[in-house]
Structure 1
């Protein structure tokens, strides 16, 4: 199963957990050309092997772990690897990547991908090396938190192994349980619950195989150029290393895109007590970062005498301003606890914030109050173990609203809670949230907030002009970047460093704003050009040149963006096959102006979606056309296109009916798992 392309190991592994067996798994070079790796190949695998309508917590779901050509090759920020499955939170496609330790070690063991099928009968962990694949009993690990688990496995197999582990949240099938690798998280969409449903506590990998690099000297040259670019850029070489992602919190607050008290407002009166400067002054021990990362945006704090990962912007947003809490140290402690429990910090914070507003409005009986920190740590553990109120919150904001009401202010898209950016002051970001295949993910949304509010040049945030085209460009670019195996932060250099010197409200800023908004039509045409008509590379988007140099593939900027477009449409078709077709946001964001005196401060989806669909080559329902799919080489998807006579409400209605049916089946599964886990004493 060799490959002609550099950067790939040429081998993949399929494990049948029911039988405890494994076999080689074929990935064609054609699929490598079309989808590159990581989420691209992961989505192709689950498309090929999952039947629509399956239970995400059932044995039929797959947990697919994929690497990418750049993973482990020394390229900047290239420790990224991906997990794909059908999400137990949304019922749709889910991909989640991190810069943890497992992906590089999986490649060094000789594998590009690992597919986990079926379900073990008892808790297990899986060891993968270049010499063996072995399934171990994990009874002594079940019940441990993620930190304890990784410590035991490091002692048992060596400190240099790569690990993926779940905590109590994954064991108890919390719908937004994450997977932890080192100190990095595959955070979104409940991938940890899928791992727990298969009775897998952990995976470890190690090896010394070399990743094929056909032209190492030329590759070193282009890598050095890329690293130099990132270090010289004001964002990736200045702000992010100095303050991490929290460095943008002050600006987010000023521009009213900082969610406050469950997205009721966009600014928080005590932001200066929880922002990046506050963390540096009060709690920061040092900077760190993922393997091979020159940016070093991660923060390290000390808790109970131990240096641990500090909170990022999204976590502080959810547990700070969005909860009405000004105690940054408490957020540091909760961030550490959430990682140990194996919980997505964004969804956990959002569902607590929603529950607090439900309580405030008398729809839910609880002792939650805005800013009251005393209840949060116990509640985090209750969510992870599905105890009391925690059991309801473990279902996520969407399902909590089905039970208690408040659907208008349950802040999610497709069931996935929104990240910490208030879209009523960022039109393109709102459009991105609504159309993102994962749901309320800021990255799958295209991170338009950077162009509209938080970057060096801001395109009129409330204007809808040009936003659909910019959002599509960003979504395609981000999917291509993820698929090639590097971090989204490497895209910050797309705006040249000189842009940071432009005065925010000066003449040049206005000229750039008008130019970017007015270029929507031209950009729309460029997005639909054949890849061969963009046969060059751009210095500020070096990814295409690096991938071509490493793999030997025919690669240009056009081919790179086409790969992203292809991945985005494949994910969209996965959702459509399930019936998850609706692109919407809760009424709070689309019908209630953030500023009652300014009716423009709400997300104008009605104005943007038709343009977005047309530019993407989709029909008026948001379904890719035959022409679009054929143009991307996705002919194998044509048979899954829905009947042209079926309306979006019909398709979405059938999806909701099946989702409720699956939830009913899962109630039994979850109750049985909770009872089983409660009966098992935590190992000492």
Structure 2
């Protein structure tokens, strides 16, 4: 029960109004997130050269991206628009494949999952994508990580580094088999079950493991979305798009718009988003609320729920900053060393060859210098003075 029910009703109504505003991508039955689900991003990221493909050897899937996109799902295999309890957006896209080898009825083909088993593995069969996602759901396996594991092993096979069972790009039947083998740790699945970092190291080529801190990259290529590269590198839990979702700004999905190919200013942007998301995540809110709501809306809900007065939007960001610094400090105590904020060398040294981001690499060193400056960190380490200023020590 909210400490202040009347104030919470006001806060709820304001939040709902922003989410349902036709100007936002969350607008029910009108906004692209509602109409096509999260997979609306497939064609968008592909079009700007920011869709990791073939284990990030490329930054776009070309014309094949359309075949695994949200638009394609809605046109060909959609059967229902379910929703989380009382949510007006209804971004889930329930699908059914009735014919062929990949018959399945499952809740939703989300963007990250469709990318992981699609473009990243050079697979444009949406039926196979849906089947693989559902298979992982049944096994309780993370789809982003599993798709990355397959893509890593596919590149290992492509380059002739494996001496065992081969896996070709886009071989959907073999992909299904490999997922089952991984879940049961059978054969080469015992290697794949260790995750991307260990797969790449096992075959003697850690450079083909697309991960940060052992966690696989999601569906955004840092050569086409520079801020996301900084976000991957500085996320306290490893490569993560949700800790500081810069594509909201770089793709123009929110009022604060930035150039996806510019690195300047991304340090300040990521700090702002990371702090804001640290606060909203603590409220257990859907991340998609951030496409419509901001610090003011979050503050109104929090203050009414717990019964506090006098807080401002700046306090929201300060609370988020304390959370983010505390996480980083925990990592330091656990043994993380300076220099851990990094990316796979592919993004730093191999320029994109696709339209939209052609010729670009991710200028991580420059962005890190800017980021550490606004964070008050020293080479990724939170100094004692910063911890004391935030009241952590």
TM-score by length of 2: 0.91
Contact 2:60-2:354 at 8 Å conserved across structures: no
Matched, 1:576 2:336: no
Per-residue deviation, 1:613: 1.1
Q: Give, in whole Å, the separation in 2 of the partners of 1:370 and 1:583.
A: 30
Partner of 2:95: 301
Partner of 1:178: none
Q: Give, in whole Å, the separation in 2 of the partners of 1:246 and 1:454.
A: 16
Q: Give, in whole Å, the separation in 1 of the partners of 2:84 and 2:328.
A: 30
Structure 2 counterpart of 1:361, from 133, 152, 159: 159
Q: With CA pairs under 8 Å and 6+ residues apart, which has the higher RCO, 1 or 2?
A: 2
Pick which of 409-418 and 213-222 moved more: 213-222
Contact 1:255-1:453 at 8 Å conserved across structures: no
Partner of 1:346: 144
Alignment of 1:85-124 (within 5 A): none
Partner of 1:97: none
Matched, 1:586 2:344: yes
Structure 2 counterpart of 1:273, from 57, 67, 80: 67
Higher strand share: 1
Q: Give, in whole Å, the separation in 2 of the partners of 1:454 and 1:437.
A: 25
> Residue 81 of structure 2: SS of its match in structure 1?
strand
Partner of 1:627: 385
Q: Deviations over 1:68-90 (max 9, x none)?
A: xxxxxxxxxxxxxxxxxxxxxxx
Contact 1:287-1:296 at 8 Å conserved across structures: yes
Partner of 2:251: 453
Matched, 1:247 2:43: no
Per-residue deviation, 1:562: 1.4
Per-residue deviation, 1:455: 2.6
Whose Rg is larger?
A: 1
Partner of 2:190: 391
Per-residue deviation, 1:436: 0.5
Partner of 2:298: 543
Per-residue deviation, 1:308: 2.5
Contact 1:493-1:541 at 8 Å conserved across structures: no
Q: Give, in whole Å, the separation in 2 of the partners of 1:468 and 1:407.
A: 28
> Residue 251 of structure 2: SS of its match in structure 1?
helix
Matched, 1:410 2:168: no
Q: Give, in whole Å, the separation in 1 of the partners of 2:271 and 2:206.
A: 28
Q: Give, in whole Å, the separation in 1 of the partners of 2:384 and 2:86.
A: 41
> Residue 93 of structure 2: SS of its match in structure 1?
strand
Please, what is the CA RMSD of the aligned residues? Answer: 2.0
Contact 1:462-1:600 at 8 Å conserved across structures: no
| Structure 2 CA distance for partners of 1:564 and 1:596, relative to 1, 3 Å | same
Matched residue count: 378
Partner of 1:17: none
| Structure 2 CA distance for partners of 1:599 and 1:266, relative to 1, 3 Å | closer
Contact 1:548-1:556 at 8 Å conserved across structures: no
Unpaired runs of at least 5, structure 2: none
Partner of 2:122: 324
Per-residue deviation, 1:290: 2.2
Q: Give, in whole Å, the separation in 2 of the partners of 1:231 and 1:596.
A: 36
Q: Give, in whole Å, the separation in 1 of the partners of 2:105 and 2:319.
A: 40
Per-residue deviation, 1:593: 1.0
Per-residue deviation, 1:599: 8.4
